[in-house]
Amino acid sequence: MPSHLALLSCLLVLVLSFDKFLFHYLRRRWFSGGGSGATVPRAPAKSRRTMAAAKWSETAMLVIDMQKDFVDPAMRSPMLVAGGEAVVPAVAEAVAVARERGIFLVWVVREHDPSGRDVELFRRQHYSGGKGPTVKGLKGAELADGLVIKEGEYKLVKTRFSAFFATHLDSVLKTAGIKNLVIVGVQTPNCIRQTVFDAVALDYEKVTVLIDATAAARPEIHLYCHV
Amino acid sequence: MPSHLALLSCLLVLVLSFDKFLFHYLRRRWFSGGGSGATVPRAPAKSRRTMAAAKWSETAMLVIDMQKDFVDPAMRSPMLVAGGEAVVPAVAEAVAVARERGIFLVWVVREHDPSGRDVELFRRQHYSGGKGPTVKGLKGAELADGLVIKEGEYKLVKTRFSAFFATHLDSVLKTAGIKNLVIVGVQTPNCIRQTVFDAVALDYEKVTVLIDATAAARPEIHLYCHV
Amino acid sequence: MPSHLALLSCLLVLVLSFDKFLFHYLRRRWFSGGGSGATVPRAPAKSRRTMAAAKWSETAMLVIDMQKDFVDPAMRSPMLVAGGEAVVPAVAEAVAVARERGIFLVWVVREHDPSGRDVELFRRQHYSGGKGPTVKGLKGAELADGLVIKEGEYKLVKTRFSAFFATHLDSVLKTAGIKNLVIVGVQTPNCIRQTVFDAVALDYEKVTVLIDATAAARPEIHLYCHV
Amino acid sequence: MPSHLALLSCLLVLVLSFDKFLFHYLRRRWFSGGGSGATVPRAPAKSRRTMAAAKWSETAMLVIDMQKDFVDPAMRSPMLVAGGEAVVPAVAEAVAVARERGIFLVWVVREHDPSGRDVELFRRQHYSGGKGPTVKGLKGAELADGLVIKEGEYKLVKTRFSAFFATHLDSVLKTAGIKNLVIVGVQTPNCIRQTVFDAVALDYEKVTVLIDATAAARPEIHLYCHV
């Protein structure tokens, strides 16, 4: 079966399974208002912000694992996601639009103990001598160049694929009245997918993945195994 | 890309990602001892059982969602997994071997409130008038014909894809000293995959999926999106 | 220090700690409307129910562990709560008023495997020969005489003190829009208290304990260690 | 009832409830070996450490909330625990002995967002203008003077009373083979107690509270409501 057919069947299954609760959008389409069913009107900056805040107050954007060890080839990390560097501009653009809309931004990052004692078993061999992927305090755990956490935004540390696994993320979101999530970052078949499935299990009403602001080590996997 | 190449790349990525912690076995190979690196010797039934109990005391088998509404076409359930009925004999065989080996058997099932208030949002439209897929007490929630829970085995009720999501399964397994899991049932891209990923997140040492004792609504998805 | 002073200091500490988020009411006061800051007006039954449903749609009542092994001395269970039997009428009355108000009722019960493998370590010695406290299917796991789960009400099985520990209770409540909890049952220093603390941790807005519809094995503990 | 009798009844209930799984020790008794049933022999430092490491490899010490805002009156924090400062030396001594024994040390701390969006609802009024109790990065979130996290020890951030609530602590401990916990810090009726109950629910085999290395805002509560 040619790849575009496989992709098609993948999307069909998604539509069948998650109905209207899980969306896959291109940035362009989502930013033009596709994610909410209506466009954000162009208006003077200040009133635009006020309108946006009301409209988007129940939506949060999760930016996942956009750390140097995952997306910057210069780090020579074993955890490098091959397509990661290429999506940094798209993620930055998504973040900029989210800020303009007043969407609550959550920067989800991995930070691990130098010993690796809080990383998955299958990754522990990468930790020794106080070094390893995204060790807390080391350069590889920093956000990729061009991405910055601003005041009022939230940093959430996780130690597994899903941003919800053994963290207080659901607590922060639910108590803030968040019902819809928009997800960007790396990488699709692991952290993105697990976060999406947990979000669906946790009854978020709409879960949107911006598929051109996510990446996978192998693009064809990205297409076939999307969710 | 032809499908067999896509499958190949899928498995390669798996090998790279999960290393030796996640296995995909055919029943035949696993039952012959492939799962543990050694065959179970043929010996008189009683001593065989004793030996098995010692050898396999740290392994549990999770049988997932083998309920009529998922695998029996006669139920006409909207949740029917197309390939489900075909794997019932394979699951039954896997269970029989697990019993002989003294492996702790956990029957994971969905049981929902007639109102559907404990089902995922995207499935609630299937519940009305006290009926719906795998409603507790109705026929659709029963195990498929040919599958029976025996004394000493455990029934675990879940309400989401993953057998670990908001259940006490990890507690029961960890406290019993279980370190390795073998997984069979339906369906691969949802309940099987989410259970597998959570098991990896929860640091089970070996997680084995018997790929010919699992099923997916669309076989090609099963191949492409395996894990 | 005399006991009434100790009680006083206990309540003072509570007021200081939890402010207006945790209430301790006598049934009489709560039923008269104290729990919501206003009385439920007397009106024809039907319209009363409609009004109540609107008013109380964000409140759930948790009825905890009102099972024969905990409250019926005839069971001779090692888990018997000494003061439990005495509060059955008060619990029944609380349930009746909750029904009239249209409050969502959740019956939280323990049901354990005959082997005791899903009970706390410190209680396992009570399980043998397929028997033990609140074993699923045995008489001791049934609700106390006079208490019945009606259609539309929810049964939630737990295996630890807190009704929220390793269960999907929070999911059911949050998704149903529940923000406030009223708690009755046994017993105060264990299951009630742990459920209350978890409810506070989970950001329920008001958590009310009806102190004359709860019980403890030793009344003075009930007073001193209330929360 | 005089206070010493109330204390006595409290301990009796504990003994009845948790049997041998929950211990309350004075430092002196635990350090002399009471916690394990045998004394640590005096031997040359190096071999002593090796012996200790083997003996204590399944035990972790949780040091809870020993932060300036909780124990240092100079911070003028609304969260100050009245008896907190007085137990700093006892906690420091407990930590020193744990280090000598090779016990895994986990420093559990609260660190909150300046907005207070990740704190319990009933404490949010204490956060404004980027300030509030134990805000991440501010002085109040630092450990009390005299307490330092050394290499090889673990810092665990929590946002609720229990060290296990919505954190990966259980994962880190279980995967490291930890079966027994020793708990010190502040404060008894909240964070200590909730951590203890969750530890029991999570099937840790022995949970020991060093009662002279814990504190409560009101000593009589400490006695009456211990667990």
C160: chain B residues, CB-CB within 8 Å: 168
pLDDT one-digit tens code per residue, C153-189 = 999 999 999 999 999 999 999 999 999 999 999 887 7
Percentage of the residues of chain B whose pLDDT score is greater than 90: 59
Q: What is the mean pLDDT of residues B99-103?
A: 94
pLDDT one-digit tens code per residue, B21-32 = 667 778 888 877
A168, A172, A173, A198, best to mutate vs chain D, most D CBs in 10 Å: A168
Closest in A171, A175, A203 to C175, CB measured:
A203
The 3-state DSSP class for residue C179 equals coil
Token pair 């033990």 is found at C132
A162: chain B residues, CB-CB within 8 Å: 197, 201
Beta-carbon contacts of A224 under 8 Å, excluding residues fewer than 6 positions away, are: A3, A6, A7, A10, B6, B10, B224, B225
Distance CA D45, CA B114 (A): 66
Distance CA B170, CA B61 (A): 13
Distance CA C192, CA C28 (A): 20
Q: What is the mean pLDDT of residues B78-85?
A: 90
Return the H-helix or E-strand segment holding C214.
strand C206-215
Question: For chain A, what is the mean pLDDT?
Answer: 81
- CA D168 to chain B, closest CA, distance in angstroms equals 10
Cβ–Cβ of B122/A2 closer than 8 Å? no
Q: Among A91-105, B60-74, B181-195, D164-178, which is the least confidently predicted range?
A: B181-195
Size of interface A-C (CB pairs under 8 A): 9
pLDDT of residue C59: 95
Under an 8 Å CB criterion, which residues of A touch D? 113, 115, 117-118, 121, 152, 154, 157, 159-160, 165-168, 170-172, 175-176
Percentage of the residues of chain A whose pLDDT score is greater than 90: 59
pLDDT of residue C130: 94
pLDDT of residue B108: 98
Cβ–Cβ of B168/C160 closer than 8 Å? yes
C175: chain B residues, CB-CB within 8 Å: 117, 121
Q: What is the mean pLDDT of residues D203-220?
A: 78
pLDDT of residue A46: 61
- CA C107 to chain B, closest CA, distance in angstroms equals 13
When mean pLDDT is compared over A163-177, B47-61, D45-59, the highest value belongs to A163-177
- Closest residue in A to D104 (Cα–Cα): A117
Convert A54-82 to b/e letters by CB count within 10 Å (16 or more is b): ebbbbbbbbbbbbbbbbbbeebebebbbe
Q: What is the mean pLDDT of residues C128-134?
A: 96
pLDDT of residue B41: 42
pLDDT of residue A21: 60
- CA A25 to chain B, closest CA, distance in angstroms equals 19
pLDDT one-digit tens code per residue, D114-172 = 999 999 998 999 999 999 999 999 999 999 999 999 999 999 999 999 999 999 999 99
Distance CA A20, CA B159 (A): 20
Distance CA C188, CA C200 (A): 16
A203: chain C residues, CB-CB within 8 Å: 171, 174-175
Position C190 confidence tier, pLDDT thresholds 50, 70, 90: confident
- CA D19 to chain C, closest CA, distance in angstroms equals 6
Token pair 């009310």 is found at C208
Closest in A175, A202, A203 to C203, CB measured:
A175
D107, D171, D198, D202, best to mutate vs chain A, most A CBs in 10 Å: D171
Q: Among A99-103, D148-152, D163-167, D218-222, which is the least confidently predicted range?
A: D218-222
C7, C13, C187, C192, best to mutate vs chain D, most D CBs in 10 Å: C13
Complex-level ipTM: 0.83
Higher pLDDT, residue D203 or C218: D203
Cβ–Cβ of B19/A122 closer than 8 Å? yes
Q: What distance separates the 2 farthest-apart alpha carbons in chain D?
A: 55
Question: For chain B, what is the mean pLDDT?
Answer: 81
Closest in D118, D157, D172 to A117, CB measured:
D172
CA torsion through residues A188, A189, A191, A194, sign: positive
D120: chain C residues, CB-CB within 8 Å: 21, 200-201, 203
Closest in B171, B175, B203 to D175, CB measured:
B203
pLDDT of residue D175: 95
A171: chain C residues, CB-CB within 8 Å: 202-203
B79, B206, B224, B226, best to mutate vs chain A, most A CBs in 10 Å: B224
Please check whether residue B207 is in contact with residue B76, taking contact to mean a CB–CB distance below 8 angstroms.
no
Cβ–Cβ of D172/A118 closer than 8 Å? yes
Strands (E), A66-200: 104-110, 154-158, 180-186
pLDDT of residue A28: 81
Closest in B171, B202, B203 to D203, CB measured:
B171
Position A51 confidence tier, pLDDT thresholds 50, 70, 90: low
- Closest residue in C to A168 (Cα–Cα): C202
Q: Among A146-150, A169-173, B108-112, D80-84, which is the least confidently predicted range?
A: D80-84
- Does A24 have pLDDT greater than 60? yes
Q: What is the mean pLDDT of residues A107-132?
A: 95
pLDDT one-digit tens code per residue, A154-209 = 999 999 999 999 999 999 999 999 999 999 998 877 888 889 999 999 999 989 88
- Does B188 have pLDDT greater than 90? no
- CA C70 to chain B, closest CA, distance in angstroms equals 22
Q: What is the mean pLDDT of residues B182-188?
A: 88
Cβ–Cβ of B118/C159 closer than 8 Å? no
pLDDT of residue A176: 96
Q: Among A131-135, B40-44, B155-159, D22-26, which is the least confidently predicted range?
A: B40-44
pLDDT of residue D111: 98
Q: What is the mean pLDDT of residues D188-214?
A: 88
Closest CA to D97 of D28, D160, D47: D28
- The three-point CA angle A197-A220-B16 to 5° equals 75
- Spell out the domains of chain D, with CATH numbers in brackets: 53-225 (3.40.50.850)
pLDDT one-digit tens code per residue, B157-167 = 999 999 999 99
- CA B117 to chain C, closest CA, distance in angstroms equals 7
Please state at what angle helix C84-101 crosses helix C45-56, rounded to 10 degrees: 100
- Does D221 have pLDDT greater than 60? no
pLDDT one-digit tens code per residue, A133-163 = 999 999 999 999 999 999 999 999 999 999 9
Measured between alpha carbons, how far is residue D188 from residues A49, D22, D61, D191 in Å? 46, 15, 16, 6
Chains contacting B (3 or more CB pairs within 8 Å): A, C, D
pLDDT of residue A9: 32
- Does D206 have pLDDT greater than 50? yes
pLDDT one-digit tens code per residue, A68-89 = 999 999 999 999 998 899 999 9
C109, C112, C113, C124, best to mutate vs chain B, most B CBs in 10 Å: C113
Q: What is the mean pLDDT of residues D174-186?
A: 95
pLDDT of residue B40: 40
Convert B106-139 to b/e letters by CB count within 10 Å (16 or more is b): bbbbbbbbbbbbbbbbbbbebbeeeebbbbeebe
Distance CA A136, CA A118 (A): 11
When mean pLDDT is compared over C16-25, C40-49, C211-220, the highest value belongs to C211-220
> B99 φ, ψ to 5°?
-60, -45
Please check whether residue A161 is in contact with residue A64, taking contact to mean a CB–CB distance below 8 angstroms.
no
- Does B196 have pLDDT greater than 60? yes
